[in-house]
Amino acid sequence: MTQVAGPRNGAARRLLGPAAVLGAVAAGVTLVAVVDPHEPGHYPTCPLLWATGLYCPGCGTLRMVNSLAHGHLATAFGHNPLVFALLPVFGYLWGRWTVRSARGEPMTSLLLRPRAAYALVMVVTAYWVLRNLPFAAVLAP
């Protein structure tokens, strides 16, 4: 006998993607909360930092996540201000994806418009350059 998938089964199936991402993020945050990146040797050094001595836009993110997991917001901001500032955006996009998935709506509107993509590339590039200059040392991790 074949069982027909009801609306609940369909909605649950559509939510697998957002649920999997949430689970992966929760597992990653838990790992970084338990295995302290402030102590040397727990995680590999950033390849760009190792090879050139320059900070990439992501340098300091593990320490930021560790600080956030322990409730130290100011310290987290100091490790990577850009990623810290983008966390609400990531949360909004995940929430929007979840709601649209639950409704069965297409996710094409979640893609960045070209203008927004260019702006994001420009902001990340400017941040990357500035955090390596002496007068903007506050941006360095």
Segment 13-60, tens digit of pLDDT: 889 999 999 999 999 999 999 999 988 888 888 899 999 989 999 899
In a domain, 1, yes or no: no
Domain holding 24, by residue range, is: 7-139
In a domain, 2, yes or no: no
3-state secondary structure of 105: coil
Q: How far apart are CA 51 and CA 98, in angstroms?
A: 40
- Centroid of chain to Cα 38: 19
Per the structure, the count of domains in the chain is: 1
pTM above 0.85, yes or no: no
Check residue 137 and give its pLDDT.
85
- Taking Cα atoms as reference points, which of 21, 41, 42 lies closest to residue 33? 42
Percent of the chain, pLDDT > 70?
A: 90
In a domain, 120, yes or no: yes
In a domain, 90, yes or no: yes
pLDDT band with cut points at 50, 70 and 90 for residue 115: confident
pLDDT band with cut points at 50, 70 and 90 for residue 84: very high
In a domain, 127, yes or no: yes
Check residue 7 and give its pLDDT.
52
Q: How far apart are CA 127 and CA 59, in angstroms?
A: 11
